[in-house]
């Protein structure tokens, strides 16, 4: 009788170990997939789909605009807002090589050095070699520091995507200057949101 009870307990123990082993082999691939998804989500492509980050600072006003050559900035109110709205500002070179425009934007708060600057932009049809340069400052009149990673960026799509620049280290900023021109080509870019985080 006692021997039978010991065998039954042993069987239960072995059954429990088998069950735990089955659970381990079932759960391990799931954990591996979750880890892979987490690390994959950390990769930031240059142009990203329309996902608005949480709690960013945003453009609250346009301090000023300036032409480059025969180009200009049009509908500057399109830069303002907390998310893409479909109301696009335009930086247009006027059909001349190297021409374009500059807009100086006031962000909703001072941004930490090294923060991401994300621009929701698209190129006009036939202008997919258009380029954007980004500069940052604590004052609307400068001095200006060039953003990094990389700067400039080519706006190569006629559908709007997020293009990400980064502020330089050691330079907190409140103002973002966006210059649109292509020294070797033509410029026509539309922007409807600028966020920093």
Residue 152 and residue 187 in contact, taking contact as beta carbons nearer than 8 Å: no
Provide the mean pLDDT of the chain.
82
pLDDT 10s digits, 59-75: 999 999 999 999 999 99
User: 58 or 45, which is more confident?
Assistant: 58
Contact by Cβ (8 Å): 137, 173: yes
Residue 182 has phi, psi (to 5 degrees) of: -130, 110
In degrees, rounded to 5, the angle at the alpha carbon of residue 169 between the alpha carbons of residues 167 and 171 is: 70
What dotted CATH number matches 51-196? Answer: 2.60.120.200
pLDDT at 178: 98
Domain limits, the chain = 1-43, 51-196
Sheet strands (E) in the chain: 47-48, 57-68, 72-74, 89-92, 100-111, 116-123, 130-137, 145-146, 153-155, 161-166, 173-180, 188-196
Least confident of 121-125, 145-149, 181-185: 145-149
pTM score, whole prediction: 0.73
């Amino acid at each position: 009788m006692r021997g039978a009870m010991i065998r039954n307990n042993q069987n239960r123990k072995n059954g429990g170990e088998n069950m735990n082993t089955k659970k381990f082999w079932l759960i391990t691939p799931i954990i591996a997939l979750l880890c892979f998804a987490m690390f994959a989500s950390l990769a930031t492509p240059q142009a990203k789909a329309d996902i608005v980050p949480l709690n960013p600072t945003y453009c609250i006003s346009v301090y000023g605009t300036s032409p480059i050559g025969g180009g200009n900035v049009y509908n500057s109110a399109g830069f303002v807002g907390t998310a893409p709205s479909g109301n696009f500002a335009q930086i247009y070179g006027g059909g001349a090589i190297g021409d374009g425009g500059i807009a100086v934007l006031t962000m909703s708060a001072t941004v930490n050095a090294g923060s991401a600057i994300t621009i929701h932009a698209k190129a006009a049809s036939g202008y997919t070699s258009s380029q954007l340069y980004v500069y940052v400052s604590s004052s609307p009149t400068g001095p200006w520091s060039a953003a990094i990673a990389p700067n400039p960026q080519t706006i190569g799509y006629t559908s709007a995507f997020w293009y990400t620049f980064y502020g330089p280290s050691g330079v907190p900023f409140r103002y973002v200057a966006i210059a649109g021109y292509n020294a070797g080509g033509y410029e026509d870019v539309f922007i409807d949101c600028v966020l920093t985080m």
